[in-house]
Amino acid sequence: MSNYHIKNLEEYYQVYRKSVRNPELFWEEVAEEHFVWKKRWDRVLDYDFSKPEVKWFEGAQLNITENCIDRHLPSKADKTAIIFEPNNPDEPALHISYSELHERVCKFANVLKSKGIGKGDRVCIYLPMIPELAVALLACARIGAVHSVVFAGFSATALATRINDCEAKMVITADGSFRGNKTIDLKGIVDEALTTCGSVTTVLVAKRIDTEILMEEGRDAWLAPLLETAESDCPAEIMEAEDPLFILYTSGSTGSPKGMLHTTAGYMVYTAYTFKNVFNYKDGDIYWCTADIGWITGHSYIVYGPLANGATTVMFEGVPSYPDYGRFWEVVQKHKITQFYTAPTAIRALAKENLEFVNSYDLSSLKVLGTVGEPINEEAWHWYNDNVGKKKAPIVDTWWQTETGGMMISPIPFATPTKPTYATLPLPGVQLALMDEQGNEVVGNQVDGRLCVKFPWPSMARTIWGNHQRYKDTYFSAFDNAYFTGDGALRDEVGYYRITGRVDDVIIVSGHNLGTAPIEDAINEHPAVAESAIVGVPHDIKGNALYGYVILKETGEGRNHDNLRKEINQIITEHIGPIAKLDIIQFTPGLPKTRSGKIMRRILRKIAHNELDNLGDISTLLNPDIVEAIIRERMTPSVP
């Protein structure tokens, strides 16, 4: 029985049971079958959730880029590794073969070395979706540098926070980026960020929009001339299994962003395994994930997972609405995409447009459709299934997180019967548990609870960079001996899981995780604001929109509310980025608080949702009268 390409539900259960009965043996077989190792592991797994400490394939030595590139050269040198599809459909797509990728990565790695970057150094990558982005990740991995990609939609302040947290020595960026019919001044954002970053000594700049930019003498260098003269061979650094591969920041419900640290061997094995099984990947397929490499989805399922399988992976620079809402389908037709992986927010936005945008293109190449990042509602699921997959391409609703490194719950196409809004069953090796609020496991089916994972899986984040205690507190303290995901879930009568959403103060807006605390901190910087609280409200396209309750200081009280709303969103844009802007801002004289001073978000959420009949007991509040006042204010036409 092969662990790959599970063919039916019975085989899934067999593989799953095997993976639980003897996880070490299971992952050892996967690791042996598909990768090149410089040295074999001494031990498959060593772990202790109470510390927490997890080590996979200890003693093994490898380099992930040899597995993603060099290993394929004897048989696939001319095969396309990456198809770059530019923002502007009139610009030709670029096909980068495995041998070209090898050369590009080696040259880039030599440039990094020439700038003093070595094993263990952190390199911050702030690039648009151009080939240099994938190459930069791999070049870092080639020499053992730890990449930390920051999504190029984050503001200068957000970028600086991340650079400072990991003390990056270098930033790799571009002169700018294209986004639909706009251009964005990336280098200007980097320059602004670096005024507060002491650790950065070098900035490498890729040319994309070909505009005049300022280059700081001694610090900034254009990438192209350096690549031109660099040697085209670079031996791969030998890495230990648990050596860091990358840091990727994700929002927490409180405090600064968390730098999730992923290590080498387990991450490689798990992302490659899940890519192949969940997308039913076969040689010759053309796979496209529309995510940005700035998020974990892009790391694991644009770069590492596909390349570790010798696949052809598409990098799309553009947006779904440019030049029109048919763009995704035009790209599917053009490159004969076989697997298409996107987010519910994109599906909802496209479903609102004329169906002609879909029907004008030939989508018959599609075999598997995927979704990720947030719960998919039933309507969007059916629209995707009917109009894109024509009811023939199974939808894999994949649940996972930045922290998990790879997919955790998903149907296996052609094996697991799908069910709208359900991520269905745990993937092999993933041991889930639902817990009640008292910390007891809820057993049986037709139950709900807090979603936890009871046993280590190879691609789990090992720590929060520089703050192991926070890692322990956030993920391993709510329940004994289990990783807590922060999500709620229910298990139906056949054991299928449905993710019901976050149970902490993280709100997912258009598939992006946003912590309420950092946004509130930004709002509170406004000189007229005394205090604020953010909640999520359902939104047709974005899944959730942000609703802010803001208390003004006396100095702000006479001011025009519309102007204040604009200023508050401006501050949020500067501190975090435009993705965190509030849709609705309600000015209020106070916030409901418990006697210990905690804001009662449950009540604020209900008011924002207009669920006024069912506010629960408010008599124990410190200030019950405020609830009436907030409701009255909510009903006035001045609250948009």
**Where do contacts with ligand PRX occur on this chain (CB under 6 A)?**
250, 296-297, 372-375, 397-402, 423, 485-487, 499, 502, 508, 513
**Which residue sits closest to ligand PRX, CB atoms considered?**
402
SS3 44: strand
| CA pair distance 373, 396, nearest whole angstrom | 12
- Which tokens sit at 198? 């002491």
- Which tokens sit at 180? 């639909």
Q: Least distance in Å: CB of 316 to ligand PRX?
A: 17
- Which tokens sit at 162? 């991340």
Closest C-alpha among 179, 547, 88, 540 to residue 349? 540
Q: Extract the runs of DSSP E, i.e. beta strands, from 285-334.
A: 286-289, 312-316
Q: Least distance in Å: CB of 100 to ligand PRX?
A: 29
The residue behind tokens 């490194």 is 405
| Residue/partner pairs of 33-38 with CB below 8 Å, 24 or more apart | 33/3, 34/269, 34/272, 34/273, 34/308, 35/62, 35/67, 35/71, 35/268, 35/269, 35/272, 35/308, 36/62, 36/66, 36/67, 36/70, 36/71, 37/61, 37/62, 38/62, 38/63, 38/238
Q: Least distance in Å: CB of 302 to ligand PRX?
A: 12
**Toward ligand PRX, which CB reaches closer, 490 or 607?**
490
| CA pair distance 278, 123, nearest whole angstrom | 31
Q: Least distance in Å: CB of 287 to ligand PRX?
A: 17
Tell me if 633 sits within 8 A of 639, measured CB to CB: yes
- Which tokens sit at 419? 């069910």
The residue behind tokens 């390349």 is 307
Beta strands 182-184; 177-179: pairing state: antiparallel
Q: Least distance in Å: CB of 272 to ligand PRX?
A: 17
Closest C-alpha among 295, 358, 314 to residue 510? 295
**Toward ligand PRX, which CB reaches closer, 296 or 425?**
296
**Toward ligand PRX, which CB reaches closer, 246 or 400?**
400
Q: Least distance in Å: CB of 576 to ligand PRX?
A: 14
**Toward ligand PRX, which CB reaches closer, 320 or 486?**
486
**Toward ligand PRX, which CB reaches closer, 200 or 272?**
272
**Toward ligand PRX, which CB reaches closer, 49 or 399?**
399
**Toward ligand PRX, which CB reaches closer, 95 or 454?**
454
Q: Least distance in Å: CB of 423 to ligand PRX?
A: 5
Q: Least distance in Å: CB of 402 to ligand PRX?
A: 3
**Toward ligand PRX, which CB reaches closer, 418 or 513?**
513
**Toward ligand PRX, which CB reaches closer, 3 or 250?**
250
Phi, psi (rounded to 5 degrees) for 505: -95, 40
| CA pair distance 315, 86, nearest whole angstrom | 8
Q: Least distance in Å: CB of 182 to ligand PRX?
A: 24
Q: Least distance in Å: CB of 389 to ligand PRX?
A: 17
Torsion of CA 28, 30, 33, 34, to 10 degrees: -120
Tell me if 531 sits within 8 A of 524, measured CB to CB: yes
**Toward ligand PRX, which CB reaches closer, 497 or 549?**
497
